[in-house]
Amino acid sequence: MGKPTGFMEIARRSQPSRPPLERIKDWSEEHPHLSEAELTSQGARCMDCGVPYCHTGQLISGMAAGCPINNLIPEWNDLVYRGQWREASIRLHRTNNFPEFTGRVCPAPCEGSCTVGLNGDPVAIKTIEQEIVDRAWDEGWITPTPPLVRTGRTVAVIGSGPAGLATADQLNRMGHSVTVFERAGRIGGLLMYGIPNMKLDKDVVGRRVRLMEAEGVVFRTGVTVGADISVDEIDNSFDAIVLATGATVARDLPVPGRELGGIHLAMSYLRGNTRRLLDGGAGAEAPIDAAGKDVVVIGGGDTGTDCVGTAIRQGAKSVRQLEVMPQPPATRAANNPWPEWPKVYKMDYGQEEAAALWGADPRRYLTTTRRFMGRSEHVVGLEIASVAWAVGADGRVAMREVPGSTETIPADLVLLAMGFLGPEPALPRAFDCELDARGNIRTGADKMTSVPGIFAAGDCMRGQSLVVWAIREGRAAADGVDRYLSRGMGQHR
């Protein structure tokens, strides 16, 4: 695809961003765009490789290699190179319901598996993806296309994150009547409340939701299934049910002092801040403010980065980020070959902003928290220690504390961003769905649970993962529901 020699002649250029000290003054995701000529040349870098791993979507060493939704990347790279933007949008939407989401928040496993990246910089796939879909919206190419015929079958989707939305979108296109139930006040789940606005503008989410409404999907917000509406009522009113509630049980840190004030789960912090931006903090959960505080973020993943960026914008006095794992190498290690996801050191937007303010990456690697220290029932500091990872006598890698490495650091606000354990168990148990050993909803290949007619999609059955995996699971669940209903099953169960 593209220009046969483009990858040898043209340097990679990804989407530019505003200077860190400028962007921390607001909550906007606005950024400069590459020109059309630059984007065309970036599409030309796609090298027409014989086996394009970029869209394989396989798991290697437990991580995604290539695009999990099998985006037809070489094809729309070529279309961009040829200036055929509308055709590129059609091709992009063939596999991806929400490219404006993935183009912004996906870590781009496709680029990690790009063949050009074997000996150079990979194609700027994520940048091209976002530019295609943003242009499609701007040009008015994305318009409501409700199904011409309805099947008469009804489906309830519980949860409106990326998995629930993908499920609903696919089932609606198939002609089924879909109602999405969301306990929060706005549709979007993780997309709306878990990802900060500067990373994913909420108007971008709202725009897609309004399109789905125009196509016939019914959204019911502020409805908690099992409380505001009974499980039996849902069960008796719909031909099939899809659970897409996410993995919202956060991993906690049960060390001495955890009961002190000022220690919060990261998602509570991010959710409250987004609510404050959207509606002045209305709602049951009061916003947590980092202004003027020494902030410590425990956890080095994407959620931790979002906490860093949010705390900086709130006016934190200082931000530290603790990570128990070692710092990744600058280049691929020998045991991390292409096309695996490259486990290499990089600074995301939050770390870049912290470095611009205070002169260094805020992350401290190989560090564990021993206890929280308090005064007047509020946290004032952490006792931390360095750790080392080594292979034990049983052949397993284990962590040990380095003797004599204990020290204390100040903290007025501590944010726990250490990942998620699984779904809240009450709802799947209310539906009598079987859980696996990790507490996730057990499903078969068709995404049906142990209860006929009840399906599950996304993190609630897969465990914590990427938005792009959630979309894939949602599409697969929709296919499973459609096959189930086409066999004459359902009939309001």
Can you read off the two tokens belonging to residue 91? 């091709």
Give the Cα separation of 393 and 326 in Å (integer): 21
Give the Cα separation of 281 and 277 in Å (integer): 7
Per-residue model confidence as pLDDT tens digits over 78-100: 999 999 999 999 999 999 999 99
Residue 30's pLDDT is 86
- In order of their start, the domains of the chain are 6-138 (1.10.1060.10), 154-248+421-486 (3.50.50.60), 252-418 (3.50.50.60)
Q: How many CB atoms lie within 10 A of CB 396?
A: 7
Residue 281's pLDDT is 56
Angle between helices 73-81 and 36-43 (to 10 degrees): 130
At residue 16, φ and ψ (nearest 5 deg) are: -70, 160
Per-residue model confidence as pLDDT tens digits over 244-256: 999 999 999 999 9
Residue 313's pLDDT is 98
Per-residue model confidence as pLDDT tens digits over 101-147: 999 999 999 999 999 999 899 999 999 999 999 999 999 999 999 99
Can you read off the two tokens belonging to residue 383? 């006792």
Can you read off the two tokens belonging to residue 55? 């869209």
Average pLDDT, integer, range 260-289 = 86
Can you give the C-alpha Rg of the chain in angstroms? 23
Closest C-alpha among 426, 390, 383, 374 to residue 407? 383
Model confidence at 63, pLDDT cuts 50, 70, 90, reads confident
Closest C-alpha among 162, 203, 204 to residue 180? 162
Regarding predicted confidence, which is higher, 23 or 119? Answer: 23
Per-residue model confidence as pLDDT tens digits over 65-80: 999 999 999 999 999 9
Model confidence at 1, pLDDT cuts 50, 70, 90, reads low
Residue type, 198: M
Closest C-alpha among 213, 239, 220 to residue 146? 213
Residue 492's pLDDT is 52
Model confidence at 4, pLDDT cuts 50, 70, 90, reads confident
Three-class secondary structure of residue 368 per DSSP: strand
Residue 367's pLDDT is 98
Model confidence at 391, pLDDT cuts 50, 70, 90, reads confident
Give the Cα separation of 326 and 399 in Å (integer): 11
Give the Cα separation of 427 and 225 in Å (integer): 8
Closest C-alpha among 405, 313, 417, 327 to residue 366? 327
The strand ranges marked E within 333-439 are: 363-364, 367-375, 378-391, 397-401, 407-410, 413-416, 420-422
Give the Cα separation of 188 and 165 in Å (integer): 8
For residue 269, pLDDT beyond 70? yes
Mean pLDDT of the chain: 95
Can you read off the two tokens belonging to residue 399? 């962590």
Give the Cα separation of 112 and 238 in Å (integer): 42
Residue 92's pLDDT is 98
